[in-house]
Amino acid sequence: MTRMRLRKAWAGMAPRMSDPQYLFDQYPELLAGCMYEAPPGWTHGIDQALADVHQWLTEHDDLLEGWPHFVQIKEKFGSARLYLSPLACVSEDRQEASALFFELEDLIGRHEQAIGQTCQTCGARPSELCTRHGWLSTLCPACKSKDPEMTYVSESPDSQ
């Protein structure tokens, strides 16, 4: 998915269901055994990422030895992390296998970046990295304003 299509997919989005069970029902083959610890505001973005990974795997199915699955999806340091099990390629050509791996990693990385610009609490965009007593969160202005001790990382004394 190109950056422009990714932006359009996110533009004006309303948060989808915040219950991750929806994702497990939609993508059982991708989330089998996945440790899911992502905040509710990111459910829509994770749904979009899973849909695009599912499409990519479908398009490249003849080159793969079974599908990989997500091992863990979580928030870490205010950013989204989507960890995928190893990709097994039918081809013995190392360059072809590497190209497939990097193409999929790039797709996942673009989604991690987009999800990380979304409020963890409500799913609003734009959002920024905030800190409270050293803990990082990605929040929109409305959710940040609910906690007077929360500051944007760009405003904190440690960032200067």
Phi, psi of 76, rounded to the nearest 5 degrees: -145, 125
Residue 59 has pLDDT above 60, yes or no: yes
What pLDDT score does 119 carry? 96
- Supply the pLDDT for residue 156: 52
pLDDT for residue 108: 97
Q: Is 78 left (phi over 0), alpha (psi -120 to 50) or beta?
A: left
> How much of the chain exceeds pLDDT 90, in percent?
69
The pLDDT value recorded for residue 13 is: 43
pTM, to two decimals: 0.83
Give bridge partners of residue 128 from the DSSP assignment: 139
Q: Is the pLDDT of residue 125 over 60?
A: yes
What is the per-residue pLDDT for 92? 82
pLDDT in tens, 63-93: 888 899 999 999 999 999 999 999 888 878 8
Q: Is the pLDDT of residue 97 over 90?
A: no
- Count of alpha carbons within 13 angstroms of residue 47, beta-carbon side: 21
pLDDT at 9 over 90: no
Q: Which of 91-95, 110-114, 135-139 has the lowest mean pLDDT?
A: 91-95
Backbone angles phi, psi at 158, to 5 degrees: -70, -25
